[in-house]
Amino acid sequence: MRRGLLIGIICCLAVGLIFSGCGKKEEPKIKIGFNIPLTGDIPKVGEGSKFAAEMFKADINSAGGLKVGDKSYQLEFIYEDNESKAQSATAAALKLITQDDVLAIIGPQSSKQAVPSGEICNANKTPMISPWSTNPNTTKDRPYVFRGCFLDPFQGPVAANFATEEFGAKKAAVLFDVASDYPKGLAEFFKGAFEKIHGSGSVAAFETFTTKDRDFSAQLTNIIKSDADILFTPQYYDEVPLIVKQARELGWTKPILGSDSWGSAELMNLCGDDCKGSFFSTHYAAAGAKGATKEFIDRYKEKYGYVPDDVGALTWDSIRLLVQAIQNTGGLTGDLQKDRDAIKDQLAQIKDFAGITGNMTFTPDGDPVKCAVIVKISQAGDFEFYKSVCPQ
């Protein structure tokens, strides 16, 4: 009985395999892998990435497929869940490369997973684009790895310049979590940039706390005493409300500046009125967007019911970059390794690509030269475009 069942299952699988094999031969396909966090700590990030990708795929495939050279291809996207873990992300990358035979991989999103996965993709000579990872190590010395966003060594100076130009700040204060890589790195880049403009000692207070601390009163009292003109705090959306509220209660009336980690819709739910009027640097601004960006936001919102976070927009741009590179090869050979190499070469040559998160030109490291956006939190609680800061 049990044996009969087993044989039955095997037969079914075999028949299924034969048919799916037949299906493949009928129309040529381009397979692209996605290494994204569909579960784990930040499922919203994975969801946003997948939604943007699905929207893109539907556009291309319903219009008859992607034209490369003189042939049309249907797009096939394979989504692998990396559970927001480094080990799962490397396993997912390896599976996409060796089992699914994808041409290229989009993701992972966070630096924690993108740095190790970049190593796997580079070693296996498969092009990878991380839409969201801002850590320099992701692409460093890895010719096959690219990214769709700016880097922290750029974001730090952006904030420093903005504080100087917009508020005429001569002295700055920084409050950050010394036990977390992203805020610590960014705080140091900000300090370096600000002191380059105003001389050493111009960062009058460089105060720290450790993850899970909830009381910042002593540090904020020091910051207020330092007589700084601006407070820069590159923290996540669950700490920002506490920092801002406590600063206001201690009598801080000057501007507060943040970084791209502020950019979650959750921020305003937790912070309420206190965060209104603050600024932060990020990848794009949903409110007040124009042209192609607005079109993307409107379509996404209509389809899925909410305004896309920066991750969705960056994923959209990364897929378009990849598709552009595939088209630029002038025709696929069908030899997987040759095609992967050709795509890598084309990606590295992309110049002045008009993305919805800004224009991009790749450096030899695989990092785009692109502008950052300064967002102002409006009185209605929206993240409004304030100005665009581009690398000189």
Partner 1 sequence: MGEFFQNLVNALQYGSFLALIALGYSMVYSILMLFNFAHGDIFMVGAYIGFGIATLLVTLASFGALALPGWLILVLTIIISMFLTSFVGMLVERIGYRPLREAPRASAAITGLMIGIILETGNLALLGAKRVSFPALIESATYDIGGVFVTNKKIMIVFVSIILTLALHQFVTKTKWGMAMRAMAFDYLVVPLMGVSINTIARLTFAIGSALAAAAGILYGVAYPVLEPYMGIIVGWKAFVAAILGGRGSILGAALAGFLLGFIEIFVAMIFPSTFRDLIAYSIVLLILVFRPHGFFGEPYSAKLRL
Using CB under 8 A as the criterion, which residues of the chain lie in contact with partner 1 when the complex forms?
A: 41, 178, 207-210, 212-215, 217-219, 221-222, 225, 238-239, 241-242, 245-246, 248-251, 266, 269-270, 272
Distance CA 275, CA 356 (A): 27
- Of the pair 94, 270, the CB lying nearest partner 1 is at 270
Q: How far is the CB of 236 from partner 1 (least distance, A)?
A: 10
Q: How far is the CB of 249 from partner 1 (least distance, A)?
A: 5
Cβ–Cβ < 8 Å for 45, 36: yes
- Of the pair 219, 281, the CB lying nearest partner 1 is at 219
Going by C-alpha positions, the residue among 329, 303, 318 that lies closest to residue 355 is 318
Q: Which residue has the tokens 């684009």?
A: 129
- Of the pair 170, 248, the CB lying nearest partner 1 is at 248
- Of the pair 154, 216, the CB lying nearest partner 1 is at 216
- Of the pair 239, 367, the CB lying nearest partner 1 is at 239
Q: What 3-state DSSP class applies to 300?
A: helix
Helix, strand, coil tally for the chain in percent (to 5): 45, 20, 35
Q: How far is the CB of 380 from partner 1 (least distance, A)?
A: 18
Residue 266 class from Cβ within 10 Å (0-12 exposed, 13-18 middle, 19+ buried)?
A: middle
Distance CA 300, CA 319 (A): 15
- Of the pair 235, 346, the CB lying nearest partner 1 is at 235
Q: How far is the CB of 206 from partner 1 (least distance, A)?
A: 8
- Of the pair 165, 213, the CB lying nearest partner 1 is at 213
Q: What 3-state DSSP class applies to 360?
A: strand
- Of the pair 101, 227, the CB lying nearest partner 1 is at 227
Q: DSSP code of 287? A: B
Q: How far is the CB of 179 from partner 1 (least distance, A)?
A: 10
Q: How far is the CB of 225 from partner 1 (least distance, A)?
A: 5
Distance CA 183, CA 32 (A): 33
Distance CA 48, CA 307 (A): 10
Alpha-carbon torsion 109, 111, 116, 121, what sign?
Answer: positive
Give the DSSP H/E element, type plus range, for residue 232: strand 230-232
Question: What do you get for the CA distance between the two ends of the chain, in Å?
Answer: 74
Q: How far is the CB of 270 from partner 1 (least distance, A)?
A: 5
Q: CA of 193: how far to CAs of 19, 83, 222, in Å?
A: 60, 35, 22
Q: How far is the CB of 140 from partner 1 (least distance, A)?
A: 28
Cβ–Cβ < 8 Å for 32, 322: yes
